[in-house]
Amino acid sequence: MSIKIVTLGGAAAGKTIYLASLYKKLSIQNNDRNLYYQFRLKASDRDSGRFLNSTFANIVDPNRDFPSGTREFTQWNFDCQVKSNNKVYSVCQFNYLDYAGGTLNQPSSQSGQEKNIERITESINNADVIFILLDGVKIFHLLHGNNTAGGLHQWLYKDIANIFNDIQDKSIPVYFAITKWDCLRPKYGSSLMEVQEKLKTFDQFKNFINGFSHDRERIIRLIPMSSLGDGFAEMLIGAEGKIEGMRKTGQLNIKPYNVEIPIAYALLDTLITHYNDEIKKEKNRVLVQNIILKMGGILAGTGTNFLPPPLNILSKKSLKAIIAKTQNGIAPREIYENIDLSNIKGEKHAIKHLLNCFWYLTKKFENDYPGSLLNHPTWHHKN
């Protein structure tokens, strides 16, 4: 199963740093059962992995400046794997498009931009999930009333407005990822309510979120994260309380946090989207045939052939359990047995194991950051 992700954000939003940090954190499987990182991301080829490691090393090097923004289009492909008993199981793939942040703001007629705009538009149309990176420094200025901070008006009324215009008709999950949360955590900790309330004072955010609320199958989430972790950089605050820049502290032990949460949700929410689509198709077939479904309107049959392989080996009962427990917030042990890596016998066990890891990561995140779900989608398992 290949999950196509498009990450949108203006210049300096942190798209490239996020990608390098994600790979740094997840490229080596962690077999500590208490941490639920018993999986890994493998780059599609050796050169891609080396490039991302080199990019991360350059970013964290205190003797180097922060890198300039992305200038080229790059398609990154990652295989999400589980390794057990010296055997590697490929569960799903994540395809990630990286591009220059300012491209979305360019007119299609501008010389040299036509193909770039077409490529982004095509990627958005084919996406399974959309990440919107919100620059944590700009969020800091909003929360502190620094209304004349450099670039703030351009970000709100050009970058964000253009992104919303391009995706407002997409009925797929959208995640607002607040980058550089380490700048905000000293004051706001894990509280998202003040950020929510501030964003909703601006019509474009309020209208976009309300639009999702009326489309009862869309999922919209707010995810704070730090690609470099606490203590890596410090804000340079000017006399008027504005952030004038960031300075690397030279910290050697880099600990990003929450960078894995978007991809964990991407798999779980994509499964729900596939299920909802199949439910609607099944209902249409039932209407045509004038047959009343029994068992509370669940799908006829027990298979999940509508899912791409290898996830189609799950039973429909298991898939319904995913949706039910995702809604109710019940720990995944109540769906599947806690499968130890040493006990994985085949592909189906590996899939369940990865789902277990992703559930625990997302449920822990939801406990730590209440209010991260910005709307209340319909869950068809109730029908």
Q: What is the pLDDT of residues 236-292, one digit of tens each?
A: 777 766 677 788 888 889 999 999 999 999 998 888 877 777 766 665 554 434 443
Predicted local distance difference test score (pLDDT) of residue 149: 79
Smallest CA-to-CA distance from 282 within 309, 306, 261, 247 is with: 306
Mean of the pLDDT values across residues 119-129?
A: 88
Res. 46: pLDDT tops 90 = yes
129 against 112, higher pLDDT: 129
Choose between 50 and 357: higher pLDDT: 50
Helix (H) or strand (E) holding 43, with range, is strand 40-43
According to DSSP, the β-strands at 243-248 and 233-237 are antiparallel
Residues β-bridged to residue 98: 74
Task: Give me the chain's average pLDDT, please.
Answer: 80
Cα 58 from Cα 92, distance rounded (Å): 29
pLDDT class of 295 with cuts at 50, 70, 90:
very low
**Where is pLDDT greater, at 54 or 377?**
54
**Can you list the pairs that 87-92 forms with residues at least 24 positions away whose Cβ atoms lie under 8 Å?**
89/344, 89/347, 89/350, 89/351, 90/310, 91/1, 91/39, 91/310, 91/311, 91/350, 91/351, 91/354, 92/1, 92/2, 92/3, 92/267, 92/311, 92/354
- The pLDDT of residue 190 is 85
Confidence class of residue 36 from pLDDT cuts 50, 70 and 90? confident
**Is pLDDT of 369 > 70?**
yes
Q: Identify the pLDDT of residue 296.
A: 46
Q: In this predicted structure, what is the pLDDT of residue 1?
A: 81
**Percentage of the chain with pLDDT > 90?**
27
Q: Average pLDDT, stretch 323-345?
A: 59
Q: Determine the pLDDT at residue 300.
A: 46
pLDDT at 306 over 60: yes
Structure tokens at 185: 């955590």
Q: How confident is the model at residue 175 (pLDDT cuts 50, 70, 90)?
A: very high
Stretch 80-98: mean pLDDT? 90
pLDDT at 341: 76
Q: Span 84-108, mean pLDDT?
A: 79
pLDDT given for residue 292 in this prediction: 39
Range(s) for CATH 3.40.50.300 in the chain? 2-260
pLDDT of 375 reads 75
Structure tokens at 299: 């799908």
Residue 333, pLDDT > 60, answer no
Which pLDDT value is given to residue 12? 72
Kindly tell me if the per-residue pLDDT of 159 is higher than 90. no
Residue 52 pLDDT greater than 80, yes or no: yes
Residue 221, pLDDT score: 93
More confidently predicted of 251 and 22: 22
Per CATH, domain 2-260 is 3.60.20.10: no
Are the C-beta atoms of 44 and 167 separated by less than 8 Å?
A: no
Angle at alpha carbon of residue 65, lines to 251 and 52, rounded to 5°: 75
Specify which of 100-114, 228-242, 287-301 reaches the highest per-range mean pLDDT: 228-242
**pLDDT value of residue 325:** 62
Greatest alpha-carbon pair distance for the chain in Å reads 72
- The pTM score is 0.84
